Amino acid sequence: MTISWNVDPGEYLERLVTRKIDAIERDIVRLVDKLSNQAAAFMRASARWQDDTGAARAGLYADVEHAVRESVTLLLSHGPAVEYAHWLEYAHRGRFEILSTTSDHFWPLLYRGALEIVRKHSG
């Protein structure tokens, strides 16, 4: 019996691994994008300060930065229009901070979601 390859086994393996990596990355980007929407809503709803103008609450946002094959970052921010954001986060011993509270809340969701994605694509 003779075995012949239509595709080089190394090339086949490389394509297979690339497809798995692409699928994992695509799913992680979707997860982080979904969590960014939830995090923005969470920050606006959970901010512990009283709004005089509404600018601080409206300026809270979450965004996704994606560098292909390098990183997917969930960015939480007050936005550039809120000059007193530093005060909101650090004054009064952090009584009004919202960024670390949001990070603490969403980190386990991100971790578990990424683990599920990797497990899903490992089989």
Q: Which of 85-89, 101-105, 106-110, 111-115 has the lowest mean pLDDT?
A: 85-89
pLDDT 10s digits, 24-64: 999 999 999 999 999 999 999 999 888 888 889 999 999 99
Instruction: Note down the domain range covering 55.
Output: 10-122
Residue 25 within a domain? yes
* Distance, CA of 54 to CA of 2 (rounded, Å): 75
Residue 32 within a domain? yes
State the total domains in the chain: 1
Residue 28 within a domain? yes
Residue 3 within a domain? no
pLDDT 10s digits, 68-79: 888 999 999 998
Which has the closest alpha carbon to 120: 6, 11, 7, 28? 28
Kindly calculate the radius of gyration of the chain based on its CA atoms and give it in whole angstroms: 21
Residue 69 within a domain? yes
Residue 48 within a domain? yes
pLDDT at residue 82 in the model: 83
